[in-house]
Amino acid sequence: MKNLILTSFIIIFLIPLMAQEANDHEWMVGESERIDALNLTPDLENGLYVYEVCSGCHLPEGWGTNEGTFPQLAGQLASVGIKQLADIREGNRDNPTMYPFALPRAIGGAQSIADVVAYIEKLPMTPNNSKGEWEEGTPEFIKGEELYKKNCVECHGEIGEGNAEKFYPLIHGQHYTYMVRQFEWIRDGKRRNANPDMVKQIAEFTDDDMKMVINYVSRIPVPAEKLAPSVDWTNPDFDW
């Protein structure tokens, strides 16, 4: 009887806690929906329909907000969008603001994920993302560039273009304050779905290091073909 009680205690209380601890910093968990979405053919018309749910915060253009409350989504690699949405839906990335909008009852299943991220990826990016305070040529900019080339370029690329195959996000053109917040959360263990290699790589970054490297990233020029024609561009798909 004692053995039965002990076994029940382990199953009910300890195993879930052990599983949570094991998953706290895992890079790839909850594979099913992510894999399903990656293997589906996107429907851009449905992607627009789904994106209407997202546009209230991220704006019809997908540019987010310059003060960094909401990130720019426009131009983001589809595989990255799929991973992040799947992680939020499966509880592997904490984002309470998005929970009501990202769940299947709000936007649909794996097909809807594939559709909306494909639509987002094709949106042109803002020519006016928010930037850090240090301009090119300042000691802080130069230090940030050094930190980027030493610690970040292998995964995020020479110009912050990311890597679709490895789920490394595109970071050029992203808003400075948003990136600082995410960097800090990753460094300090608050963002649970972060790549563990990045967590180790930036563990010794000071707050000043963090701000300088993100300042540099925020000032990496975005390729012209990825940009909207002007800061006044509006998404014609929402012209009704």
According to the model, what pLDDT value does residue 16 have? 37
The number of distinct structural domains making up the chain is 2
Please choose, from the candidates 98, 64, 23, 86, the residue with its C-alpha nearest in 3D space to the C-alpha of residue 174: 64
Domain end, chosen from 123, 149, 173, is at: 123
Range of the domain at 183: 139-226
Helix extents (H) in 90-159? 99-102, 104-107, 110-122, 139-151, 153-156
CB 80 within 8 A of CB 167: yes
Question: Which of these ranges, 97-101, 137-141, 221-225, 229-233, has the smallest mean pLDDT?
Answer: 97-101
Provide the pLDDT confidence category of residue 20 given band limits of 50, 70 and 90. very low
Report helix, strand or coil for 227: strand
Global pTM reads: 0.87
According to the model, what pLDDT value does residue 31 have? 62
Q: Name, in order, each residue with C-beta under 8 angstroms of 217's C-beta and a sequence gap of 6 or more.
A: 144, 148, 152, 160, 171, 172, 174, 179
Domain end, chosen from 123, 156, 187, is at: 123
Enumerate the β-bridge partners of residue 163: 168
Is 76 contained in some domain? yes
Q: How far is it, in rounded angstroms, from Cα 191 to Cα 15?
A: 22
Provide the pLDDT confidence category of residue 240 given band limits of 50, 70 and 90. low
For residue 184, what is the enclosing H or E element? Answer: helix 176-187
Burial class (CB in 10 A: 0-12, 13-18, 19+), 15: exposed
CB 212 within 8 A of CB 176: no
Q: How far is it, in rounded angstroms, from Cα 149 to Cα 45?
A: 39
Q: Are residues 43 and 109 in the same domain?
A: yes
CATH code for the domain of 60: 1.10.760.10
**Tokens found for residue 19:** 């599983």
Average pLDDT over residues 144-154: 98
Average pLDDT of the residues of the chain: 89
Is 180 contained in some domain? yes
Q: How far is it, in rounded angstroms, from Cα 132 to Cα 114?
A: 33
Q: Are residues 90 and 164 in the same domain?
A: no
